[in-house]
Amino acid sequence: MKKQVIYLGADHAGFKLKEQIKRYLLGLNFEVNDLGAYKFNKNDDYPDFGFKVAKAVSKDKNSMSILICGSSFGVCIVANKVKGIRAVSIDNIRDAKLSRQHNDANVLCLSGWNLKFNMAKRIILVWLKTKFSNDLRHKRRLAKIKNYER
Domains belonging to the chain, first-starting first, are 5-149 (3.40.1400.10)
* Collapsed DSSP state (helix, strand, coil) of residue 66: strand
Q: What are phi and psi of 67, to 5 degrees?
A: -120, 145
Taking the CA atoms of 132, 112, 120 and 67 in sequence, report the sign of the dihedral they define.
positive
Return the active site residues: 69, 102
Peptide bond connecting 37 to the previous residue in cis, omega within 30 degrees of 0: yes
CA pair distance 29, 48, nearest whole angstrom: 27
Give CA–CA dist 70/75, Å, rounded: 9
What tens-digit pLDDT sequence spans the chain (150 residues)?
568 899 999 999 999 999 999 999 999 999 999 999 999 999 999 999 999 999 999 999 999 999 999 999 999 999 999 999 999 999 999 999 999 999 999 999 999 999 999 999 999 999 999 999 999 999 999 999 999 999
pLDDT recorded at residue 120: 98
CA nearest to 7, candidates 74, 77, 54, 44:
54
